[in-house]
Amino acid sequence: MLLKDKVAIITGGAKGIGRGMALKFAEEGCTVAIADIAIKEAEEAVDEIKKKGGNGIAIKCDVTSGQQVGDAVDKVVKKYGKIDILVNNAGAIAAHVPIEDLTEESWDKVLALNLKSDFLFCKYVVPHMKKKKYGKIINLSSIGAVQPPAHEIHYNTAKAGVIGFTTDLANALAPLNINVNCILPGPIRTSFYDHNIGSMTEEDKDKFFTRLGKKVPMQRVGTPEDMAGAALFLASELSAYITGQALYVAGGLPLLPPAPPPSSLAK
């Protein structure tokens, strides 16, 4: 097992990418604390982990609140004695709004959820890692940070900030044997897209993701399992000599998808 006897906090681990990571980490022997505002779904994820023989805990937490983040970290340390791995996965997109119509409130909310939350968890977790001189921190950025697929300037700005945050923190913590990396997901089939397809039938959702996949060099959208595999690599000792990196898990993006064969052009 790659994460035997390790303890991890995964923010936003109640569903989607975070849940996929939580399940994968638990399969590899890790005790997983899921910190999420959606406590019902977080508890369901932990129940699934325990049914498969793993161990974990669900903690209700507003990841943009310093008080709640500090309390969540204290709870994990008191229960398990340490934190080996931190995955800053919590985040969400907002409606597409031209910059002239974007409110200051919406800007602040999106930046807080997608960037400030990373700062808060690192602020409270890093001191525990420093004591042990060991730690793995994985921050979730987005392909939108480097190749925006749409004009979502608050979200894309926040995710670009995650890359800078990762680089700075990795440099500061490298002498202490604490690895800090970030992942840039491409399109992944999760409820992340529900803001514009949530009312569709399952058949129409399938068609949406098939069309979306055609924009990817590998000709498909990703899955939570794809993301979990990358996160497992960065959380394990397989990546012991890797820090400060931005790993694209995006089916080949930002490469351009392959051109259609000449025969199809005539159709």
Lookup: tokens for 90 = 């919590």
- Mode of pairing for the β-strands spanning 7-11 and 31-36: parallel
* 158 contacts 90 by C-beta, under 8 angstroms: no
Q: 187-203: buried (b, 16+ CB within 10 Å) or exposed (e) per residue?
A: bbbbebbeeeeeeeeee
239 Cα distance to chain centroid? 18
* Catalytic status, residue 134: no
C-alpha dist (Å) from residue 8 to 39, 103, 132, 216: 17, 36, 14, 31
What's the rounded Cα separation, in Å, for the pair 88 and 181? 11
Host H or E run for residue 139: strand 135-140
Could you say which of 124, 155, 193, 248 is catalytic? 155
Hey, what amino acid is at 38? A
Give catalytic residue positions.
155
